[in-house]
Structure 1
Amino acid sequence: MFVVVPTLIAISVFCVGSWAVSGSHTSANSPAPYRLLTPLLDTPWTAKVGTLPWPQHPRPLLYRDHWQTLNGIWTALSGIMVNGVTYMWFATTFTTPSGWPTGQRLLLNFEAVDYEATVFVNGAQVGFNRGGYFRFTVDITDNVNPDGENALLVFVFDPTDSSPYHIPNGKQTTSPSHIFYTPCTGIWQPVWLESAPSSYITSMNFAADMEGTVTATIHSGTGGSNPVEISILDDDGSVVSTQSAVSDETFTFTVPSPKLWSPDSPNLYNITVKMGADNVSSYTGFRTISSGTVNGIQRPLLNGKFVFQFGTLDQGYWPDGIYLPPTLEAMVYDLGLLKGLGMNMVRKHIKVEPDLFYQACDRLGLLVIQDMPCMPATVSMETSPPDAAEQAEFERQIEVLINEHKSYPSIVTWVIYNEGWGQLREASHPEFPITTRIRELDPTRLIDATTGWFDHGAGDFSDNHHYAEPQCGTPFYSTPSSPYDPNRIGLQGEFGGIGHIPAAENLWPVQAAIDTINQTYEINSDLDSYNYRAHVLLGLLRDQVARFACSGAVWTQTTDVEGEVNGLVTYDRRFVRVDAIQWKADIQALYAAAGARA
């Protein structure tokens, strides 16, 4: 399944599972020049990756002028594109840009390394991070040679789902099998340098509501009460509000009569923040997410109104990048496909994307239901659940997820557990205290504690999964593991999943995956029957919206993934299955049915 390569090679900085770029060696000590490898299955963007992948600034909510990407060809001192690799080294060199201000701190940023990363600069250990989905920053000022070349080494440990480890890994597995996929190990998101003053902003949180109230916290690296000045600018660049405050303390202020953010009008406001010599920029959107009773039914509310949420289960896998799209354009293509069909939501399924994904949703106007990546969903999990330390680490990483992403306007719901995967099920039911903790960290969003089943009553949603027909918002579809609860919001967390076998050139060409295609929930013989079946299922959902307490639904899924052939588009993104005219009409009918209930 994987291409076996020599011990010392040159690779893209990203994902070990990536097929897009690599190299081979001519001697034991020197890598060959860059060359494009032929992936098992490419996309229209594969050839555009080049030697400088993802050149965009990776953190749109905290931007400084002086930064430099370290993406590109790195040297790896380990096996690459070989399944089952647990330990590996990545190496590169860098010089500090000559035009940067003197006397500042040099920050080394990693957007995501799966799973544990130990970082060395010029032979000195400078940092460590655990967690395959989250960013970390290392101040390397005292370890670099400002006038010459510097050596950067990253040692990675990633057990994925191998026994006896229980770590948040989503659908990655060392043994791919239909709904579990090729793993991604190592550096899979951008690495970059940044120049900042000696007293600098480490992170910022903004929550802006429909009344114009902004709640903000500016975190500093030094702590204490550093004076800060915040300006809110409209899309014309005009300042609509300024506020003086201090760092590391939460404060509020008001913007008069803001243009609200919604899927129909995704209005955004730019933000500038000054703290001493540090100048950063960000943005926000004014909207309020809440839950309330509308005509006797518990509903999700956006800006005080019931908005029916409809979108896809979005896995975020790519044949030429595994966990990372080959380019930003490729990533936005998937989201644009959903928006173009009239969908207003996407469920990011047990994976965390690069920040530019959430910025794209903010700009397009797509509501995001964000899952926490689960711990392994294996048979052994049933008899060997996470121990206390592993559960504590899972809960710590939930807090990291919330804190890193709670300023994106598009995110409306946090999901703790998917279908019981990695969920402790003893009487204490940890989803209850986890829900409480999430509300403390972020009171501005809803919480889906258990999407699918093993629902003990925590969170804001009564969430049902059923294939292929929906079973949403009514007591006669209640089950012990997924009970109907009129006091919570009725959500069809997954349904659909109907499939169609595409031409061979659009399939993931791995026989083990092909052999699992028949495990797809339903297979339709041709596109006419596929689209008719979709029309029937969306009609059933529309009827449940009109008659019962169904407030949203998630269709499986955006794209095919390896042996799954139930996407709106094939895995290579070259063949779209859906009849766009029919789907648009059926989706609009859902909104109309919901509007009649509101």
Structure 2
Amino acid sequence: MMGRMTTDALPRATAQTGTHPRPQLLRSAWTDLSGPWGFEHDDHDAGVREGWARPGRNAARTIVVPFPPESDASGIGERGHHPVVWYRRTVTLDEVRAAGWQPGMRLLVRFGAVDYRATVWADGAMLGEHEGGHTPFAVDATGAAREEKPFELVVRAEDDPLDLEQPRGKQDWLPEPHVIWYDRTTGIWQPVWLEAVPETSIDRLGWSSDLPAARVSLELALSRRPPAGTSVRVRIADEDGEELAAVTQPVRSPRARIDLPVHALQNGQGYESMLWSPAHPRLLDATVELLDASGSAIDAAASYLGLRSVSAAGGRFLLNDRPHPVIAVLEQGYWPGSHLAAPSADALRAEVELIKALGFTTVRVHQKIEDPRFLFWADRLGLLVWEEMPSAYAFSATSVERLSREWQEAIERDRSHPCIVAWVPVNESWGVQHIAHDERQQQLVRALFHLTKALDDTRLVISNDGWEHGDSDLLTIHDYEQDRERLAASYRDAAAIERTAAGIGPAGRRIRLLPDAAAPGLADAPVVVSEFGGVTWAPDAPIATWGYGVASSAEDFERRLRDVFGALHGGALAGLCYTQLTDTLQEANGLVDEHRRPKLPLEVLRAIVTDAPR
């Protein structure tokens, strides 16, 4: 029978090369559609009216996907306001076959992210639409594949640079980057690929672990309601291939939960050797098979997971129930030649390696839903991640709907990654600027906190990073004080931290928005200074630079770093997060420049960073 799958050809998910755009759901075949596509700006939004989606149109220019057209890597490099763009590409029959397609199967075109609103056609037939610039989607091109000939794929992307109700993160609304805002990212900016699947197929996998119960849980989503007699077989193995858990269970609906007892976790003296942490990033391989009534595999996918827990108690962040100081760096995920898109899959691995080499155990990915391949390397190499939703800049019913929908999609995409230990739905009251006085904005931030907890109760949630917290598992403070003594005085002991958090904070904003009675968990929440430093040292920068403090020399830069890190080391804080990893355009306050070259010897920077809070 056509359309059957097998585990025989599946890769080991933990041993993958880091190139697959969906690293926790691998099949044996897929086709990368990166590379040259036809491209056109549509500044007058005439394309739909004039039938640009019809096949055979000659595109005016060529773009290299998945780089945004504002970037030089795309081959376009035009940074002005272009609210509508079009892409087109011929998909060959060889590419369809390489994706594993054969009669009886479905052919999906998957998009990692298209900013902001996308419509997709194949040979002039509309396949689907998606809204949300940072989250994945797929369209079904089976009709075109059935013709068994090349077909033309067309994508229209709409990204209004002046629409402040769109979640946009650090993308500037002005024509040129200014202060802490950067060039826009329009259209396709993460991978596009083909994948063939059976009619009834595995659509999503969601892993979680319960260490005290010695159990792993899989939330399984299928493409449709399965035929009678369908079952799922799940197997989990360690890095040596030794089976740790296996379950076969009937499935009667498109969504199912499978619980797998992991008996090795019941050994109270030995179970810690199985846990995932930055020091020991142990991952487990998993295979998931969908079986028909005869026991034959309909579909099969490889995945991986890590066993670990995240909590907070006693004023400390806990990893695997042990205090773990947060030694973090803020990461913009921006490259000079390719902007928000990584220049290559290898660059994502190098970024994780750089962060760890500098001595950080944690990265706060700022105002960006990062490429899943970055998260794979954080899982594989051992780096904790705070994931943060890109903000809208205006508060309205529209922005609330857009923000909450896209945030749910981001959590759904990434909740199986063991590296992610905190969710951050809002930063510095962006999009809720009047939260201190507007009860509706307060309710949104509180609702996002509780929505996040409802979707995933295995991680910490920071309601509004930096200040004006509602309900929150961590109390986070942004403090760019440059004087060592004044900075140290705010955090040297529990009493000092309480004084800082109890009133008006360092930025002139209240740290706690609600009284203790309304948010009782906040009074005892661990405190992290989640932005500090911001020292600029960029003598060779070709543009005017900006920072919270400016060094006059390399020696002055080192002295300033030692001052701000030293002020926070050894106190009562649960952790810290330095701003920032890399220079980003005019915001030149990185520990390394935009090309990832350290501004001081790496061993000097590491020594400054690793004098960690106790």
How do 1:410-429 and structure 2 match up within 5 A? 410-423=419-432, 425=435, 426-428=438-440, 429=442
Query: For residue 227 of structure 1, what is the amino acid of its counterpart?
Result: S
Q: Which residue pairs with 1:244 in the alignment?
A: 248
Contact kept, 8 Å, 1:464 with 1:482, in 2: the verdict is no
- Partner Cα separation in structure 2 for residue 238 and residue 499 of structure 1: 51
Q: Which residue pairs with 1:68 in the alignment?
A: 31
SS of the residue aligned with 1:362?
helix
Contact kept, 8 Å, 1:121 with 1:144, in 2: the verdict is no
What is the aligned-residue RMSD (CA, Å)? Answer: 1.9
Unmatched 5+ stretches in structure 1: 1-53, 377-384
How do 1:486-525 and structure 2 match up within 5 A? 486-503=523-540, 507=541, 509=542, 514-515=543-544, 517=545, 519-525=546-552
Contact kept, 8 Å, 2:37 with 2:88, in 1: the verdict is yes
Q: Which residue pairs with 1:14 in the alignment?
A: none
SS of the residue aligned with 2:569?
helix
| Corresponding position: 1:283 with 2:292 | no
SS of the residue aligned with 1:449?
coil
| Corresponding position: 1:583 with 2:605 | yes
Q: Give how far 1:482 is off.
A: 3.6
How do 1:515-554 and structure 2 match up within 5 A? 515=544, 517=545, 519-543=546-570, 545=571, 548=572, 550-554=573-577
Q: Which residue pairs with 1:483 in the alignment?
A: 511
Contact kept, 8 Å, 1:69 with 1:193, in 2: the verdict is yes
- Partner Cα separation in structure 2 for residue 341 and residue 387 of structure 1: 41
1:446-497 deviation line (CA, Å, top 9, x unaligned): 0000111222x31112111011445446023233334365421201110011
Q: Give how far 1:55 is off.
A: 9.5
Contact kept, 8 Å, 2:40 with 2:87, in 1: the verdict is yes
Contact kept, 8 Å, 1:122 with 1:144, in 2: the verdict is no
- Partner Cα separation in structure 1 for residue 370 and residue 500 of structure 2: 33
Q: Which residue pairs with 1:168 in the alignment?
A: 167
Query: For residue 565 of structure 1, what is the amino acid of its counterpart?
Result: A
Q: Which residue pairs with 2:90 in the alignment?
A: 93
Between stretches 481-490 and 392-401, larger displacement belongs to 481-490
SS of the residue aligned with 1:417?
coil
Q: Give how far 1:145 is off.
A: 4.6
Contact kept, 8 Å, 1:269 with 1:284, in 2: the verdict is yes
Query: For residue 166 of structure 2, what is the amino acid of its counterpart?
Result: I
Q: Give how far 1:81 is off.
A: 2.9
- Partner Cα separation in structure 2 for residue 539 and residue 110 of structure 1: 44
Between stretches 437-446 and 93-102, larger displacement belongs to 93-102
Contact kept, 8 Å, 1:122 with 1:152, in 2: the verdict is yes
Query: For residue 32 of structure 2, what is the amino acid of its counterpart?
Result: T
Unmatched 5+ stretches in structure 2: 1-16, 43-75, 266-270, 292-297, 513-521
Q: Give how far 1:314 is off.
A: 0.2
1:373-399 deviation line (CA, Å, top 9, x unaligned): 1113xxxxxxxx422122122111111
| Corresponding position: 1:337 with 2:362 | no
| Corresponding position: 1:558 with 2:581 | yes
Q: Give how far 1:585 is off.
A: 3.0
Q: Which residue pairs with 2:71 in the alignment?
A: none
Between stretches 64-73 and 581-590, larger displacement belongs to 581-590
- Partner Cα separation in structure 2 for residue 462 and residue 363 of structure 1: 29
Q: Which residue pairs with 1:134 in the alignment?
A: 135
| Corresponding position: 1:463 with 2:470 | no
Query: For residue 327 of structure 1, what is the amino acid of its counterpart?
Result: S
Q: Give how far 1:142 is off.
A: 2.0
How do 1:397-412 and structure 2 match up within 5 A? 397-412=406-421
1:88-125 deviation line (CA, Å, top 9, x unaligned): 11000102434634321111101100000000001000
- Partner Cα separation in structure 2 for residue 531 and residue 395 of structure 1: 42
Contact kept, 8 Å, 1:535 with 1:586, in 2: the verdict is yes
Contact kept, 8 Å, 2:582 with 2:589, in 1: the verdict is yes
C-alpha change, 1:335 and 1:55, in structure 2 (3 Å) is closer
Q: Which residue pairs with 1:7 in the alignment?
A: none
Match of 1:223 among 218, 222, 225: 225
How do 1:369-448 and structure 2 match up within 5 A? 369-376=386-393, 385-423=394-432, 425=435, 426-428=438-440, 429=442, 430-448=444-462
| Corresponding position: 1:260 with 2:268 | no
Q: What's the TM-score once normalised by structure 2's chain length? A: 0.80
- Partner Cα separation in structure 1 for residue 467 and residue 189 of structure 2: 31
Contact kept, 8 Å, 1:178 with 1:562, in 2: the verdict is no
Q: Which residue pairs with 1:152 in the alignment?
A: 153
Q: Which residue pairs with 1:81 in the alignment?
A: 77
Query: For residue 170 of structure 1, what is the amino acid of its counterpart?
Result: G
- Partner Cα separation in structure 1 for residue 423 and residue 170 of structure 2: 18
Contact kept, 8 Å, 1:95 with 1:147, in 2: the verdict is no
- Partner Cα separation in structure 2 for residue 583 and residue 322 of structure 1: 25
Question: Identity of paired residues, percent?
Answer: 31
Q: Give how far 1:56 is off.
A: 2.3
- Partner Cα separation in structure 2 for residue 351 and residue 235 of structure 1: 32
SS of the residue aligned with 1:450?
coil
1:330-350 deviation line (CA, Å, top 9, x unaligned): 222222111012210000001
Q: What's the TM-score once normalised by structure 1's chain length? A: 0.82
SS of the residue aligned with 1:586?
helix
Q: Which runs of 4+ in 1 moved over 6 A?
A: none
- Partner Cα separation in structure 2 for residue 497 and residue 207 of structure 1: 36
Query: For residue 247 of structure 2, what is the amino acid of its counterpart?
Result: Q
